[in-house]
Amino acid sequence: MAMLALQDVSVEYPIFGADGESLKKTLTAAATGGRIGRGTGIAVVQALRGVSFELRDGDRLGLVGHNGAGKSTLLQTLAGVYVPTGGRCCREGSITSLVNPMLGIEREATGYENIVIRGLLLGLDRPTIRRLTPEIADFSGLGDYLHMPVHTYSTGMMMRLAFAITTSAQADILLMDEWLSVGDAEFRQVAEERIRSLVARSGILVIASHSAELIARECNRVIELSHGVVVRDERLPAGSGS
């Protein structure tokens, strides 16, 4: 059974070597979200403050809010990339994060070597990676390029590889920052089908988006963030998220 639970979670970023007042003015002028604190001469961005909610199997949560509201930080916290500076984040079940598919891709390594590197970062063991490698290679469509260093790839080819690896293993919990679209028209079609299959088979979906249409179509619950604080948490009408 999949489960995600946040209990009064806060996340702060220390900004070393920055002047708190000038940073505050910069963020205010840009209308971004983090609050600025001062401590021992170090500016601190308070990205999340007192966030609490629980998700179980069947939940499809949409995260909404202005740029800098804390949506991406919350996704990275759920993924375990960021450790809360306050509160607790509890997880049960495997997690696939499509927030940054390029994370862990080594440009000097070959495509096949990157399948192993990225797979290990995703928490897969080596036997599982070996089992998935032929399917990843086939889905990427990169052929003999997989024997070559990734720095020889075009941006589109790198995205194909990263997407194929990241979506190769089904997870209980799926995290997304907007609906991912990669590659040319032909690859986008198969990528769309792959994402829809992942969403359908995942126990929990959390997706951040500025699209009200996407949230209404994919989600049965919505949380709105403002300056790192939850300002709205509501269930959507029956039929949403199906």
pTM above 0.85, yes or no: no
pLDDT tens per residue, range 141-158: 999 999 999 999 998 899
CA distance 113 to 135: 15
Q: Strand (E) positions, 57-150?
A: 60-64, 86-92, 95-97
What's the CATH number of domain 3-97+206-235, 3.40.50.300, 3.90.1720.10, 2.70.40.10, 3.20.20.220? Answer: 3.40.50.300
Q: Measure the CA–CA gap between 186 and 231, rounded to whole angstroms.
A: 40
Does residue 29 surpass a pLDDT of 80?
no
Residue 51: φ, ψ to 5°:
-85, 125
Contact predicate 93/3, CB 8 Å: yes
Confidence (pLDDT) at 30:
47
Q: In the chain, where are the structural domains located?
A: 3-97+206-235
pLDDT score recorded for residue 102: 84
